[in-house]
């Protein structure tokens, strides 16, 4: 018997779970709904505000203010931050930032 034969003859666990526990159209509807909620910048502004409340007091973390009154479903307005992008910084800075 070939080593891979057992892998292909065993039913896929994900397929088994989906067949036993879910309705695929309902699952896709939920996934699409959550995707569209994530694309709503008003929700992202709320998430940014929550993130700032949780982590904004850390010394090396700066979270910009969200301007919720000017934010719409398609436009996110937040405080301008002067600085450098992490990916354009020197390698040593990137390693240091990764240790936050």
Q: List, for residues 16-32, the tens digit of each pLDDT value.
A: 666 666 677 777 788 77
Q: Which two tokens stand for residue 36?
A: 């569209």
For 79-87, what is the mean pLDDT?
Answer: 83
Which of 29-33, 34-38, 47-51, 81-85 reaches the highest mean pLDDT?
A: 47-51
What tokens appear for 39 in the block? 């694309």
Q: Token digits for 99?
A: 């240790």
Residue 17: its pLDDT value, please?
62
Helix (H, G, I), strand (E, B) or coil at 10: coil
Strands (DSSP E) contained in 1-100 are none
Cα separation, 4 vs 16, in Å, equals 20
Most confident range, picked from 12-16, 29-33, 38-42, 88-92: 38-42
Q: 2 pLDDT band (50/70/90 cuts)?
A: low
Q: How many C-beta atoms lie closer than 10 Å to residue 62's C-beta? A: 12
């Amino acid at each position: 018997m070939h080593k891979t034969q057992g892998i292909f003859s065993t039913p896929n666990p994900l397929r088994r779970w989906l067949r036993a526990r879910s309705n695929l159209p309902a699952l896709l509807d939920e996934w699409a709904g959550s995707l569209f909620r994530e694309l709503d910048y008003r929700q992202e502004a709320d998430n940014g505000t929550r993130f700032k409340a949780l982590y904004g007091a850390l010394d090396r973390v700066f979270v910009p203010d969200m301007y919720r009154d000017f934010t719409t479903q398609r436009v996110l307005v937040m405080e301008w931050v002067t600085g450098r992008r992490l990916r354009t910084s020197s390698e040593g800075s990137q390693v240091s930032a990764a240790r936050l």
